[in-house]
Amino acid sequence: MDKRYTALGTSMLVLKLLEKEPMYGYQIIKTLEQQSSQVFRLQEGTLYPILHGLEQQGAVISQTASAPSGRIRKYYHITPSGRKLLQEKLQEWETYQTAVNQVIGGVLFE
């Protein structure tokens, strides 16, 4: 897949998960695996440049807090501008998906 769409897809999925609740990095990876029935298995370290990038864009903010297990975690929260960004990414994804479906489904040649 085009690298741009891979990045778009990953950050969109991360924002979508954070929309439901604040999460820490490992929790995001696990949730992503579980909810996609193990289809999305990232190289785990690549999540962090994405999270830091989103933080620098103001789409997420981080907070260090102790988890129920007692360990100190860095939780990421989605911000209002992150929600806006998510909407934009979802729309962009839909456009991409429609175009792919049209080609695969042969709609363009009908």
Partner 1 sequence: MNKQEFLDKVTDQISYRPLHPEIRRELEEHMEDRAAEYEAQGLSSQEAEQRAVEAMGDAVSIGVQINAVRHLQKSPVLIFLTIALLFSGCAASAYMFWLPEQVANGFLYYVPGAAVFLITVYWGYPLFIRFRKPIALVIGAVLGALMLIRMLLCAGLITIWGMSPSFYYFSLLSAALLFPLSLYGICRRSPLRFFLASAGFAFLCLACYPLNPFNLGSACLIANMAAAGTGIFMMARGKLSLTGISHSLREKGITGLLFLAGIGLLVGSNFLSPGQRRGWNYFLHPEKNIVSKWDDTYNSVLIKELLSRTPALGGISLTPEEMMAYGTGEWYFAERDPEQISLVRSDYPDEESFEQAWKASSTFRGIVYYNETNVILYDILPQHYHNNYLISLLIFQYGWIPGLLFLGLIGGYYLCLFSRIGKIRQPLASSLAFCCGLLLLGQTILYVLGNFGFQYHAFPVLPLLSEGRVSIMVNMFFLGFIFSAYRYDRVSGFFTHVFTEALPWQP
Identify residues 25-44 at the interface with partner 1 (CB under 8 A). Answer: 25-26, 29, 43-44
Q: How many residues bind partner 1 (CB under 8 A)?
A: 35
* Residue 45 interacting with partner 1 (CB under 8 A): yes
The residue count for the chain = 110
Please identify, using beta-carbon distances, which residue of 80 and 106 lies nearer to partner 1.
80
User: From the list 6, 35, 36, 63, which residue makes contact with partner 1 (rule: CB under 8 A)?
Assistant: 63
User: From the list 6, 34, 36, 57, which residue makes contact with partner 1 (rule: CB under 8 A)?
Assistant: 57
Do residues 72 and 81 make contact, with C-beta atoms less than 8 angstroms apart? Answer: no
Do residues 59 and 78 make contact, with C-beta atoms less than 8 angstroms apart? Answer: yes
99-18-39 Cα angle (round to 5): 55
Crossing angle (nearest 10°) for helices 25-35 and 3-20: 100
Please identify, using beta-carbon distances, which residue of 55 and 92 lies nearer to partner 1.
55
Q: How far apart are CA 36 and CA 98, in angstroms?
A: 21
* Sites of contact with partner 1 (CB under 8 A): 22, 24-26, 29, 43-46, 48-49, 52-53, 55-58, 61-63, 65-68, 71-75, 77, 79-81, 83-84
